[in-house]
A and B are shown apart, each in its own frame.
Chain A
């Protein structure tokens, strides 16, 4: 993407530990490097995502270890970090009786943008998130989806190099979720801003992320690119209206390893031959094929092995 920054991680933590009073370990020796691009921070509620974000913003001092954001130490250089990082909290954080324009302008100013420029940037940020028409309305009159967009716009107002988004799809309906995810993807890819999206919904954010960082109980489960997560884990889902059993036998005969998944069959993909074999099988049996699509099932299972309750939502 950006060759100048791609070499250096945007976030580096080393043995990062946070123990709250009462011996509650929120982070237990987390070491992870986050490359530029869109990164999903996946973990169940209470896995330590919010603690990590607070430490990265320099608002919370770690008990041990270090964290660097865009090369700045989180303890020593919190102010420098907060100048170049935009943050979208999980909870409601908007005053009701102010217009979106005024609010985002004010928040831009709080990021150090001079008055006139802050006004321009607020208008632009609101346009980018799709609130151009409504920007002079009071925020209290907005729908949940619009409010989420204002939250995103205020994070953009300061022209961040990195966005930390905490559960950005919270409270949105499916359409709203999709729109928000598309927006985040666009910001990451077209605007060239690195993004870390914290979420407990793996299926939801995996499709917009370049990398995934999975944490559980303050420890790193795995950090890798999406591709390596899903490599060798591509599955083909085949659903026929009838004759599923026959198809299964036929596929096995052709050297594939189908297994039942709900009313359909899953076959590991091994190159184009797999598709050919499936096509030929279905054709030779004359079965009514109703669905055939790629699935990435292994990703979810990979997280399930550690018996934490990740909510998994199937995403097409």
Chain B
């Protein structure tokens, strides 16, 4: 950098001046919002390993490419005359759930656990920000990072599709299909970032943090899938139309309205963020082709409430974590 020797004014270029005195800073000082913005940007970059060594970029790059793969395949297929293979609102559900799990499990600790480990937090809190600003910046940054991971492949899918369709109406149809897909991506990002940052903020050990996040998402997903299969088996065994089952808690009177899918099966969808995403998506009118969760019908509202509750809990936990950390 060229800070070494700013030219001394009276044109005396006699060698390098090594010991410049201290210079005060009299430029503008940015206020708290701008500092938080700077921290957000810094954290966003680190979510992809920028500002770190090459090693830190491996996982973000690989996961990103993996998520883009379906869009590329689709573009290729469409150029051969096929119709669009992948729905915007589901994208490639299992791939996305798996790859996003890896991404948040590895990168959320990068944002929060590192700072805990190196005990750098007191330095942040000794600066003109409030204790809630730190988790706020981290949350915004990581939500944005997840958005990039999810939405960019969708946009690729979109671009790959519109170059292969002809006519304004067709393009418009693609655009209209894309928008709900983007919104679903937003839902994923907002929730995934909250859960993973909260879990990662509980420990300064990166390995533990990654493990905790990964296990949470994988375990809940597997649990939900097992329950779903068990319940589906039950329903098949008790062969469809017989809906009068033993009698509810109120006595033998009620037969209940004939449901296309029994509630027990839907309940199984409550146990994993990914099935909740899918339930809410379908409840809000998304396509049903992805057979992750039974079509929720009016039960979708329960999915939405549970999802919001998980989001609120995670954020509360995250912010509470740093209210205490301020004094550490």
A-to-B contact residues, CB < 8 Å: 54, 57, 59-60, 79-80, 82-83, 85, 87, 89, 91-98, 102, 106-107, 109-115, 117, 119-121, 123-124, 127-128, 154, 158-159, 187, 190-193
Q: Determine if B123 and A97 form an interchain contact, defined as CB atoms under 8 angstroms apart.
A: no
A87 to chain B, nearest CB (A): 4
- A-facing residues in B1-44 (Cβ within 8 Å): 1, 3, 20-25, 27-32, 34-35, 38-39, 42
Determine if B124 is an interface residue (Cβ-Cβ < 8 Å): yes
Q: Determine if B35 and A110 form an interchain contact, defined as CB atoms under 8 angstroms apart.
A: yes
Q: Which residue of A lies closest to B28 (CB)?
A: A114
Determine if B122 is an interface residue (Cβ-Cβ < 8 Å): yes
Q: Determine if A159 and B24 form an interchain contact, defined as CB atoms under 8 angstroms apart.
A: yes
B97 to chain A, nearest CB (A): 30
Given A59-B326, A113-B30, are A93 and B25 neighbors across the interface (CB < 8 Å)?
Answer: no
Contact with A along B107-120 (1 / 0, CB 8 A): 00000001101111
Q: Determine if A93 and B119 form an interchain contact, defined as CB atoms under 8 angstroms apart.
A: yes
Q: Determine if B123 and A117 form an interchain contact, defined as CB atoms under 8 angstroms apart.
A: no
Q: Determine if A82 and B128 form an interchain contact, defined as CB atoms under 8 angstroms apart.
A: yes
Determine if B215 is an interface residue (Cβ-Cβ < 8 Å): no
Determine if B327 is an interface residue (Cβ-Cβ < 8 Å): yes
Q: Determine if A92 and B123 form an interchain contact, defined as CB atoms under 8 angstroms apart.
A: no
B-to-A contact residues, CB < 8 Å: 1, 3, 20-25, 27-32, 34-35, 38-39, 42, 51-53, 114-115, 117-120, 122-130, 326-327
Q: Which residue of A lies closest to B31 (CB)?
A: A112
Q: Determine if A82 and B126 form an interchain contact, defined as CB atoms under 8 angstroms apart.
A: yes
Give the residues in chain B near A127, CB-CB below 8 Å.
Answer: 3, 20
B93 to chain A, nearest CB (A): 35
- Inter-chain CA distance A234–B22, complex, in Å, is 35
Given A82-B126, A113-B30, are A191 and B119 neighbors across the interface (CB < 8 Å)?
Answer: no
- Inter-chain CA distance A81–B1, complex, in Å, is 31
B130 to chain A, nearest CB (A): 8
Q: Determine if A93 and B122 form an interchain contact, defined as CB atoms under 8 angstroms apart.
A: yes
Q: Determine if B327 and A59 form an interchain contact, defined as CB atoms under 8 angstroms apart.
A: yes
Q: Determine if A158 and B127 form an interchain contact, defined as CB atoms under 8 angstroms apart.
A: yes
Q: Determine if B38 and A109 form an interchain contact, defined as CB atoms under 8 angstroms apart.
A: yes
- Inter-chain CA distance A127–B27, complex, in Å, is 20
Q: Determine if A54 and B128 form an interchain contact, defined as CB atoms under 8 angstroms apart.
A: no
* A117 interface neighbour in B25, B39, B326, Cβ under 8 Å: B25
Sample (27) of A-B pairs whose CB atoms are under 8 Å apart? A57-B125, A79-B129, A82-B127, A82-B128, A83-B127, A93-B118, A93-B119, A97-B52, A102-B51, A107-B127, A110-B35, A110-B38, A110-B123, A110-B129, A111-B29, A111-B127, A112-B30, A112-B127, A113-B25, A113-B27, A113-B29, A124-B3, A154-B123, A159-B24, A190-B21, A191-B21, A193-B22
Q: Determine if B126 and A83 form an interchain contact, defined as CB atoms under 8 angstroms apart.
A: no
11 more A-B contacts (CB under 8 A) besides A79-B130, A95-B120, A117-B27?
A59-B125, A96-B118, A110-B123, A112-B31, A113-B25, A120-B3, A121-B25, A123-B1, A127-B3, A187-B22, A191-B21
Give the residues in chain B near A192, CB-CB below 8 Å.
Answer: 22
Main secondary structure of the interface of B (DSSP, over half): loop
Give the residues in chain A near B117, CB-CB below 8 Å.
Answer: 95
- Inter-chain CA distance A190–B120, complex, in Å, is 29
B227 to chain A, nearest CB (A): 42
Give the residues in chain A near B126, CB-CB below 8 Å.
Answer: 57, 59, 82, 85, 87, 89
Q: Determine if B327 and A93 form an interchain contact, defined as CB atoms under 8 angstroms apart.
A: no
Q: Which residue of A lies closest to B39 (CB)?
A: A110
- Inter-chain CA distance A221–B226, complex, in Å, is 69
Top 9 nearest A-B pairs (CB, nearest first) are A191-B22, A159-B25, A87-B126, A95-B118, A112-B29, A83-B128, A79-B128, A112-B30, A123-B3
Q: Which residue of A lies closest to B124 (CB)?
A: A110
- Inter-chain CA distance A117–B24, complex, in Å, is 11
- Inter-chain CA distance A93–B34, complex, in Å, is 24
Given A120-B3, A128-B22, are A95 and B38 neighbors across the interface (CB < 8 Å)?
Answer: no
Q: Which residue of B lies closest to A54 (CB)?
A: B327
Given A82-B126, A111-B128, are A98 and B39 neighbors across the interface (CB < 8 Å)?
Answer: no
Q: Determine if A124 and B23 form an interchain contact, defined as CB atoms under 8 angstroms apart.
A: yes
- Inter-chain CA distance A111–B34, complex, in Å, is 10
Give the residues in chain B near A115, CB-CB below 8 Å.
Answer: 38
A248 to chain B, nearest CB (A): 49
Give the residues in chain A near B327, CB-CB below 8 Å.
Answer: 54, 59-60
- Inter-chain CA distance A94–B213, complex, in Å, is 25
Q: Determine if B119 and A91 form an interchain contact, defined as CB atoms under 8 angstroms apart.
A: yes
* B127 interface neighbour in A91, A98, A110, A128, Cβ under 8 Å: A110
B30 to chain A, nearest CB (A): 4
Give the residues in chain B near A82, CB-CB below 8 Å.
Answer: 126-128
* B123 interface neighbour in A83, A93, A113, A114, Cβ under 8 Å: A93
- Inter-chain CA distance A60–B326, complex, in Å, is 9
Q: Determine if A87 and B120 form an interchain contact, defined as CB atoms under 8 angstroms apart.
A: no
Q: Which residue of B lies closest to A82 (CB)?
A: B128
- Inter-chain CA distance A113–B28, complex, in Å, is 7
Q: Which residue of A lies closest to B26 (CB)?
A: A159
- Inter-chain CA distance A63–B52, complex, in Å, is 43
